[in-house]
Amino acid sequence: MAAPPASSVEAAAPRTRRVRRGRRRRLEAGDIAILSVLVGVTIVIDVLLIWGTSIASIILSFTSYGGLGTPDFIGTRNYHDILTIDLSFIPAVEHNLLWLAFLGVVATPLGLLMAVLLDRQLRFSRFYQSALYLPVALSFAVVGFMVQLILSADQGVVNAILGRTHGNGIDFLGDPHKNIWMALLFASWRHTGYVMILYLAGLKSVDPALKEAAIVDGANPVQTFFRVVFPTMRPINVIILVITVIESLRAFDLVYVINVGRNGLELLSVLVVDNIIGEASRIGYGSAIAVFLLIVTLGFVITYLTQILRREEVR
């Protein structure tokens, strides 16, 4: 996924740095001490909590470990098993990617559309805004319960309205061909509001003079939006891209509440939790799945960083 170029805020950065450098000559020893403590603490936390745990995960992924005692090293067996006999792994990867694609292709553009519409000062604009943003205030665990109340085959609202009760209901949550789409629907419901509010803020910050200039130059509204307004919102676009990727990779709570992420709702995060935290306590095996999640995540991070770094070099 290509990241948009660095923002204008970043363009201003070198100037700030120069100013700071000028001031540094006057820094006292005490200031330097404070600075190094602040940086030092951050580095220690960073190394311990991020690098330490990531490396521990990678090491544990080559072991069989129940949580107590010493882990037994079993080579690449966990990886071999995951790729050959674990029937949940491939679906989990597919579902994570589907989640990313759905949020990226459906929910995010929808959020942008809502933002553009609301930015036109419609009547009751504030009301729509609140209504669309409301789901963001709900945790996914709560959304998960709502999903069950609405879609359960026996006792759900939808089946009651359709008059399909007494074991005759549509099995939205148990049918593995339907439940993932239901989960995506509710995940998007929440994601759309989130994206909308961010884009609303972004749209407000676009200089109206730019739009006027575009119109004077003969651009139609669509051209104005895609050629002028949208590119101007680069900082917001970057944030939304990042949020969408994070939301898709960490998706967990919704499916976990619906059916513990089984039977059509497998996700990498659920497999990790199921194996490590669950009664099974297959910590080595779960760590190996976590390593796959790490690799997927790193893929996005590296792509993003190379884009940014290349641009800074150009500058």
Partner 1 sequence: MTQSLLTPSQLSRRSLLRGAAVGAGVVTVPGLLAACSGGGGGSGSSGGAKSQTISLGSNYSDPTPKKAIQDMMDAYQKKSGNTVKVNTVAHNDYQTNITRYLQGNPDDAAAWFAGYRMQFFAQKGYLADVSDVWSGLTGFSDALKQASTGTDGKQYFIPLYNYAWALFYRKSTFQAKGYQPPKTWDEYVALAKKMKADGIVPIGFSEKDGWPAMGTFDYINMRKNGYQFHVDLMAGKESWTDQKVKDVFGMWASLFDQGLYQPGANGRTWEEAGTSFAKKEVGLVVFGTPHVGLQTPKAEHDDIGIVPFPAIDPANGTDSIEAPIDGFMLPAKAKNVAGGKDLLKWLGSPEAENTYLKSDPNNIAVNSAADTGNYEGLQKDSAALVAQAKHISQYLDRDTRPDFAQTVVIKAFQSFVDKHSKADIDAMCANMEDQKKSIFSQPVS
Q: Cα(113)–Cα(107) distance, rounded to whole angstroms?
A: 10
In the chain the beta strands, taken as DSSP E runs, fall at: 63-64, 72-73
Nearest Cα to Cα of residue 248 among 161, 150, 171, 140:
140
* CA–CA distances in Å: residue 155 to residues 26, 171, 180, 247, 281: 72, 11, 20, 30, 34
Q: Does 293 bind partner 1 (CB under 8 A)?
A: yes
Q: Does 128 bind partner 1 (CB under 8 A)?
A: no
Tokens found for residue 105: 């292709």
Q: Does 185 bind partner 1 (CB under 8 A)?
A: no
Q: Cα(289)–Cα(92) distance, rounded to whole angstroms?
A: 10
| Cβ-proximal residues to 162 (8 Å cutoff; 6+ apart), any chain | 169, 170
From candidates 96, 108, 129, 152, binder to partner 1 by CB under 8 A: 152
Scanning 21-29, 102-110, 205-213, 303-311 for contacts with partner 1 by CB under 8 A, the matching segment is 303-311
Least distance to partner 1 from the beta carbon of 278, Å? 5
Least distance to partner 1 from the beta carbon of 221, Å? 29
* CA–CA distances in Å: residue 139 to residues 44, 135, 190: 32, 8, 9
Number of separate helices (H) and strands (E) present in the chain: 18, 2
Q: Does 5 bind partner 1 (CB under 8 A)?
A: no
From candidates 246, 303, 310, 312, binder to partner 1 by CB under 8 A: 246
From candidates 4, 64, 113, 133, binder to partner 1 by CB under 8 A: 64
110/272 with CB nearer partner 1: 272
Q: Does 173 bind partner 1 (CB under 8 A)?
A: yes
From candidates 4, 5, 79, 81, binder to partner 1 by CB under 8 A: 81
User: Mask 205-234, x = binds partner 1 (CB under 8 A)?
Assistant: ------------------------------
From candidates 74, 98, 142, 160, binder to partner 1 by CB under 8 A: 74
CB 104 within 8 A of CB 182: no
Q: Cα(283)–Cα(79) distance, rounded to whole angstroms?
A: 13
From candidates 65, 99, 186, 230, binder to partner 1 by CB under 8 A: 65
Size of the site for partner 1 (CB under 8 A): 80
CA 106 to chain centre: 14
Q: Give, as ranges, the residues between 26 and 55 that touch partner 1 (CB under 8 A).
A: 46, 49-54
HSE toward the beta carbon, residue 301, CA cutoff 13 A: 8
Scanning 62-70, 127-135, 202-210, 217-225 for contacts with partner 1 by CB under 8 A, the matching segment is 62-70
Scanning 18-26, 27-35, 96-104, 302-310 for contacts with partner 1 by CB under 8 A, the matching segment is 302-310
In eight-state DSSP terms, residue 165 is -
